[in-house]
Structure 1
Amino acid sequence: MKNFDKLLVLVVLFLTSCSQNNTNFYNQKIGNPYYGGVYKVGDAYEIEDTLYFPKKDYNFEEIGVASWYGKKFHGKLTSNGERYDMYRMTAAHKTLPLPTKVKVTNLENNKSVILRVNDRGPFVKNRVIDVSMRAAERLGFKEEGTAKVIVRYFSEAPVYDKYGNLLTKKNNIINKVDFYSPQKKIHMKNYSLLIGSFQDKKNVENIKSKLEGFGGLSVEKNKVNGKILYKIILGPYKNIMFVNRIKNEVLKKGIKNTKILTFE
């Protein structure tokens, strides 16, 4: 009987150790669970014939269905280069900057949590946010799988380097190269959308405001016949069908006569 009790204690200790190792499997030495990520708003992107336009929105508020994701993604890279940990208070959203803090309230039981958005998703109809397993537990819908929630912007979230040290915005922009290489992206893409050329800088600012969230927007300043012209371009992109969809979305903003540019 004593031997059985000893064996039972060993099993419990082993399982406890496994659970702790699983929780901290990637940050034991660094001591910061959110190391190695970058700050990014991101370009427009397409998932299953739907276009998404990431952008900053300090007044963001959205009501819809929340779901949660767990073991299948545990330990994998998130969209901003951190690692997903189902035991942390994090979430995925389709358009908010990464990372961002949001307040999520379960409208069915009035429970609220503050979550760090560091991933993209969910890409399921009518779902507005995907939360971690721990967050689903705290919000009281882990067993049900989904719940009606309201998501509100809460604040910006800090970003840390690969050693777990806090990054300033300036340093973080530089370190974006470590995760998303602009050189590689440009090499793969061969289409851009010319919005137009303008003399009036107010027009330029107005159009930039309309196109906020499209991503990849650049303004080239050129001197033509003694006059300063500002050329506005979106891109580059790698898929002509995607560019045509962007062109249609730009038209919906009231911007006409855009032109697709092709690069060999």
Structure 2
Amino acid sequence: MGRIGTPRREPTASRPAQPVPRRKKAEGGRDGAGQGGLPVDANRGSVWIAGQLRQAIMDGTYKFGEKLPAERHLADAFDASRTTIRLALDQLEQERLLTRRVGSGTFVSHRVVSELDNIADSTSPLELIEARLGIEPHMTRLAVLNASNRDIEKMTEALERAEAASDNSEAWTEWDTQFHLLLAEAAHNRLVLWLYQHVNEIRSHDQWKSMRDKVLTAARIAEYNRQHRALLGAIASRDVEGAAAMVTSHLHFARRQLMGIEGA
């Protein structure tokens, strides 16, 4: 199925010849009771909507780590109330297909087993850094040139949350990952984003998590935060070469830390 969430309503004439039957509205409100006791919307039930989103996740339309459209966009796309959308997302969260991050959004937490897992198993930490060195400096140049004010606001928020989570390596890693994904989005180049999402999926693989406690000491997290803050400042001031140099230096710093761990 296609991606969901473009906020538009199709005219009646373009609907399928045999649309999903409309459910009878419950007394006193728009939502009634549906399968498994879940309330359902008079037009689109939360169970049906959860099924559509589940299919989109399982077939890879929405990939691991990707952010779903905002609730209001999903409500428009499904012609349903935001309460019904929230119920559908609750169901998928219970199934561990989605993760909600307060103030940031809803993200896919289900990983489709594919060739990428085999690549991740055979990719060394240094190979990953080398790949990132080949992508991120130019990606950062594009972000400096193309980032909107909203892109910079979202990166700022992710960085602030990373800084607030400095004493928790797991939480810090989540926000560090989000910061770099937002940097990729700010480049406004779909192919670059697609490439970086695949790199980032390898970065979030289980074997990398096992190294987290060795690499992410309090001192290193503080240094990474400082580097991210300087990088964000260069992006906000539209310093193309300065930002590219900073992300290159940032990745070389990470490379040295990994070499130290591997040589220990």
TM-score (norm 2): 0.24
TM-score (norm 1): 0.24
By percentage of residues, which structure has more strand? 1
The structure with more radius of gyration? 1
By percentage of residues, which structure has more helix? 2
